[in-house]
């Protein structure tokens, strides 16, 4: 696959944007992306969002954001797949452009977690789990991650300290990203001393939820070449699902949706693991980073954590991850996260990642997961 | 456009399904559609839903419904555009099949309004309006319709009684539909005596919200011909938006999104108004039916109500609408409504609409609106 390209990217910082509304956040990211693409001609808008209905009492973001961004009248819808909404919105834009019915598509991922008018963000985010079989018993996203992490520690004989490398790497990279939510470094020896959120998941293990928006403009590759100096090609795009509830899986330590969507996207792209220069994975919790590396085929089951221990995930390592801070340090704006990942990979491939730059990055992969991996969206991009 | 076809349809009755969960409703409709298409091979699922997050504490319906329907692992997302979510999900399926990346797509529209665990359905549905400028002042969907109706009555010098024909026609047709929510007939002289909901909108003027699910299977037209005896071709598909808030429109009596999406879909289809044998429009309120007929070009501005007065909208009339009861009598399951419309048009074109059959129907149009018409999705279908 080689016929859809990214021609514009934009994003806000991830933070607690108390003074900025959902529509303004969206617009800031869109304005940056349209400026970057040097166009205002957009045919369709795909909004990735998870919680605006519950937290801001605002659904129907397609019409709202299109109009507020000066694009009144265009095709516009919201795409939702819990915290994989951003990646899923990107996927719809790729399908739309590939269909030939939409020439230029805009994707914006936006989340405003500081609007807690209807419920707390912890309650609201838990709607991504199985309401009848998980949430009804009080399970939260952190609780679900804790179940997976505890099982991993038991199965493979590792300890909490063995996950430290993921957070240390993320914070080291985030310190170089001016738009990151947390720019402080984290010492490995401090990692295990984090206050517990849901044991063994601690504050230093879990990505912080934040407000933010990121946007991407895509169009056909032939057209893209004439429009911008550095179009980024979408070589692979795949979305896959798994059981929504953990209890229905044969193996809770195997992210089947991530494995399927990685294999499909890499096959479309025709690239091998060795050719991938960076992998923006979904490090909502360190356990999810370890399991993602395993499902994507960069490590054998039970060995994902070793890539963190050995430094392979660092920017100069074998398979750099969280190169701009990842969810852990850049921040996790839920339904916007998947679009941040695409923007960050595109920056790397353009050589515009500043202090976060991975040397000589030519091919990058972004993978957005929902909850315990029940939805996985994978994109392979190339310069 | 002629390369996407419908090969399967299914639906539940619209009702208060207190004993049936969201996932079961979805599955009943999907099972019927897959049986109808005689296939279990589906590559992607698009769920049209508006309120599950708020009413059932359940987001992430893509993964949930795919797994529950026996389709574990497939691509699956939710598409949301308030009460136009069903039509918007159909639109994504058309784009996906047209892209060539998805061979067979399944659409399910589902809504469970009797799950009022988080808020009332009236509050929840108002999230489709502008939260900051409309809902914050207490506006509801019925209230917004009342503003438009009052203005229409003032501008064109008509009275409440002049809208009676829409509800009388819908109930007459609904009486013939075994899956309709209300099968009672309504006398024109009773119409103005309905209890007020938001004056001048009354109980006999407003479509009842109900639970329900409807499903459609689509694939490439060449393939469809080999799979089923009566594939229904998607000749036109278009989605357009308007300002989310009424106050931003130059003319609150002109549904600009509906007009644009109708024109685009009819142009793709290459059909004239005279060729359209039935029009399943979004009669959430009688005023919306009148304005839809005007925006779609079946009546001049201010004259849509005359088509109801003159009987032109009846099944034997010039442009039959609400042929199976419409939203008013079949019931309005919000995010599922747009898929019911597609299913009903397909039944008509197959000659399988039973007592609701429009004689000799060859081309039909379905139009799903959100709120005050801020999103409009139009599909032109043909046998």
Question: H-helix or E-strand containing A369?
Answer: strand A363-370
Cβ atoms A23, A64 nearer than 8 A: yes
pLDDT value at residue A119: 80
CB contact under 8 A, B63 and A238: no
From the CA of A101, how many Å to the nearest CA of chain B?
Answer: 7
Query: Cα–Cα distances in Å, from B22 out to A81, A212, B56?
Result: 17, 31, 8
Q: What average pLDDT does the segment A336-363 reach?
A: 98
- Of all residues in chain A, the one with the smallest CA distance to B49 is A80
pLDDT value at residue B348: 98
Across chain A, what does the average pLDDT equal?
Answer: 97
| The token pair that represents A268 in the structure block | 């479309």
What spatial distance separates the first Cα and last Cα of chain B, rounded to whole Å? 14
- Report how far residue A115's alpha carbon sits from residue B63's, in angstroms, rounded to the nearest whole number: 26
- Residue B281 in this model has a pLDDT that exceeds 80: yes
Instruction: Reduce the DSSP state of residue B53 to 3 states and report it.
Output: helix
Cβ atoms B286, B205 nearer than 8 A: yes
Q: What average pLDDT does the segment A157-184 reach?
A: 98
ipTM score: 0.98
pLDDT digits (tens, 9 = 90+) for A208-260: 999 999 999 999 999 999 999 999 999 999 999 999 999 999 999 999 999 99
Q: Fill in the DSSP letter of residue B246.
A: G
Q: Which one of B60, B99, B131 has the shortest CB-CB distance to A370?
A: B60
Classify residue B229 as exposed, middle or buried by CB count within 10 Å of its CB (0-12, 13-18, 19+): exposed
The residues facing B47 across adjacent strands are B78, B108
- Report how far residue A25's alpha carbon sits from residue A68's, in angstroms, rounded to the nearest whole number: 11
Task: Count CA atoms closer than 13 A to A185's CA, side-chain side.
Answer: 5
From the CA of A37, how many Å to the nearest CA of chain B?
Answer: 23
Interface of B with A in 53-112 (CB under 8 A): 53-54, 56-64, 66-67, 72-82, 88, 91-92, 94-96, 98-102
From the CA of A76, how many Å to the nearest CA of chain B?
Answer: 7
Cβ neighbours of residue A202 closer than 8 Å, sequence gap 6 or more: A160, A192, A194, A195, A196
- Report how far residue B99's alpha carbon sits from residue B94's, in angstroms, rounded to the nearest whole number: 9
Query: What is the phi-psi region of residue A298: left when phi exceeds 0, alpha when psi lies from -120 to 50, beta otherwise?
Result: alpha
Residue with tokens 């900025």: A20
- Report how far residue A133's alpha carbon sits from residue A246's, in angstroms, rounded to the nearest whole number: 10
pLDDT digits (tens, 9 = 90+) for A320-329: 999 999 999 9
Q: Fill in the DSSP letter of residue B285.
A: B
- Of all residues in chain B, the one with the smallest CA distance to A52 is B127
pLDDT digits (tens, 9 = 90+) for B97-152: 999 999 999 999 999 999 887 788 999 999 999 999 999 999 999 999 999 999 99
Q: Of residues A72 and B116, which shows the higher confidence score?
A: A72
Cβ atoms B120, B57 nearer than 8 A: no
Domain B138-206+235-382 of CATH type 3.40.47.10: yes
Equal CATH topology for A4-117+210-232 and A138-206+235-382: yes
CB atoms within 10 A of CB A318: 14
* Residue A116's pLDDT band (cuts 50, 70, 90): confident
Each domain of chain B, given as residue ranges in start order, spans 4-117+210-232, 138-206+235-382
A135: contact with B, CB 8 A cutoff = yes
Per-residue 3-state assignment (H helix, E strand, C coil) for A178-244: CCCCCCCCCCHHHHCCCCEEECCEECCCECCECEEEEEEEEEEHHHHHHHCCCCEEEEEEEEEECCC
Residues of B in contact with A127 (CB under 8 A): 53, 57-60
CATH of domain A4-117+210-232: 3.40.47.10
Task: Classify the C-alpha dihedral A196-A199-A205-A209 as positive or negative.
Answer: negative
Concatenating the DSSP letter of every residue in A64-116 gives HHHHHTT-TTSEEEEEEBTBTHHHHHHHHHHHHHHHTS-SEEEEEEEE-TT--
Quote the percentage of chain B above a pLDDT of 90: 98
Classify residue A171 as exposed, middle or buried by CB count within 10 Å of its CB (0-12, 13-18, 19+): buried
Quote the percentage of chain B above a pLDDT of 70: 100
CB contact under 8 A, A79 and B82: no
Classify residue B50 as exposed, middle or buried by CB count within 10 Å of its CB (0-12, 13-18, 19+): buried
Classify residue B175 as exposed, middle or buried by CB count within 10 Å of its CB (0-12, 13-18, 19+): middle
- Report how far residue A212's alpha carbon sits from residue A327's, in angstroms, rounded to the nearest whole number: 12
The residues facing A201 across adjacent strands are A198
Strand ranges (E), chain B = 4-11, 44-48, 75-80, 104-111, 196-198, 201-202, 212-220, 232-241, 278-280, 363-370, 375-382
From the CA of A108, how many Å to the nearest CA of chain B?
Answer: 15
| The token pair that represents A305 in the structure block | 């954590």
Longest CA–CA span in chain B (Å) reads 57
Across chain B, what does the average pLDDT equal?
Answer: 97
pLDDT value at residue B373: 98
pLDDT value at residue B1: 75
CB atoms within 10 A of CB B366: 27
pLDDT value at residue B231: 98
- Residue B250 in this model has a pLDDT that exceeds 90: yes
B50: contact with A, CB 8 A cutoff = yes
CA angle B370, B131, B52 (to 5 degrees): 60
pLDDT digits (tens, 9 = 90+) for B65-107: 999 999 999 999 999 999 999 999 999 999 999 999 999 999 9
Cβ neighbours of residue B151 closer than 8 Å, sequence gap 6 or more: B252, B253
Classify residue B357 as exposed, middle or buried by CB count within 10 Å of its CB (0-12, 13-18, 19+): middle
Q: Which one of B61, B118, B375 has the shortest CB-CB distance to A62?
A: B375
- Most B CBs within 10 A among A52, A59, A62, hence the mutation to make, goes to A59
A&B contacts, CB < 8 Å: 215
Question: H-helix or E-strand containing A368?
Answer: strand A363-370
* Burial profile B236-267: b = 16 or more Cβ within 10 angstroms, e = fewer: bbbbbbbbbbbeebeebbbbbbbbbbbbbbbe
Radius of gyration of chain B (CA): 19
pLDDT value at residue B116: 80
pLDDT value at residue B212: 98
Residues of A in contact with B369 (CB under 8 A): none
Quote the percentage of chain A above a pLDDT of 90: 98
Q: What share of chain B is helix, strand, coil (3-state, %, to 5)?
A: 40, 20, 40
């Amino acid at each position: 696959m080689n016929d859809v390209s990214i021609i514009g990217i934009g994003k806000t910082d991830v933070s607690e944007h108390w003074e900025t509304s959902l529509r303004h956040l969206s617009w800031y990211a869109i304005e940056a992306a349209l400026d970057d693409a040097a166009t205002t001609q957009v045919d369709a808008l795909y909004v990735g969002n998870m919680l605006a209905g519950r937290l801001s009492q605002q659904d129907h973001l397609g019409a709202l954001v299109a109009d507020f961004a000066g694009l009144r009248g265009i095709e516009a819808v919201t795409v939702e797949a819990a915290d994989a909404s951003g990646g899923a919105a990107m996927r719809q834009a790729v399908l739309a452009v590939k269909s030939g019915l939409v020439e230029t598509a805009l994707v914006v991922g936006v989340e405003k977690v500081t609007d807690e008018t209807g419920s707390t963000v912890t309650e609201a985010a838990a709607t991504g789990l199985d309401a009848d079989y998980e949430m009804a018993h009080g399970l939260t996203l952190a609780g679900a991650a804790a179940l997976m992490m505890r099982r991993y520690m038991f199965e493979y004989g590792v300890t909490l300290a063995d996950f430290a490398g993921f957070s240390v790497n993320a914070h080291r990279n985030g310190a170089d990203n001016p738009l990151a939510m947390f720019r402080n470094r984290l010492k490995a020896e401090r990692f295990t001393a984090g206050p517990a959120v849901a044991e063994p998941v601690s504050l230093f293990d879990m990505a912080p939820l934040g407000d933010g928006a990121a946007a991407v403009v895509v169009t056909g590759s032939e057209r893209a070449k004439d429009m911008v100096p550095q179009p980024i090609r979408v070589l692979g795009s795949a979305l896959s699902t798994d059981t929504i509830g953990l209890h229905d899986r044969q193996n809770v330590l195997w992210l089947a949706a991530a494995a399927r969507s990685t294999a499909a996207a890499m096959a479309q792209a025709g690239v091998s693991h060795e050719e991938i220069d960076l992998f923006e994975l979904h490090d909502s919790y360190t356990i999810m980073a370890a399991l993602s590396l395993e499902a994507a085929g960069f490590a054998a089951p039970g060995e994902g954590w070793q890539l963190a221990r050995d430094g392979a995930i660092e920017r100069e390592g074998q398979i750099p991850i969280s190169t701009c801070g990842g969810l852990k340090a850049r921040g996790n704006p839920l339904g916007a996260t998947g679009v941040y990942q695409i923007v960050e990979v595109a920056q790397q491939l353009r050589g515009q990642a500043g202090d976060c730059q991975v040397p000589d990055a030519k091919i990058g992969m972004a993978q957005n997961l929902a909850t315990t991996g029940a939805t996985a969206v994978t994109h392979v991009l190339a310069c």
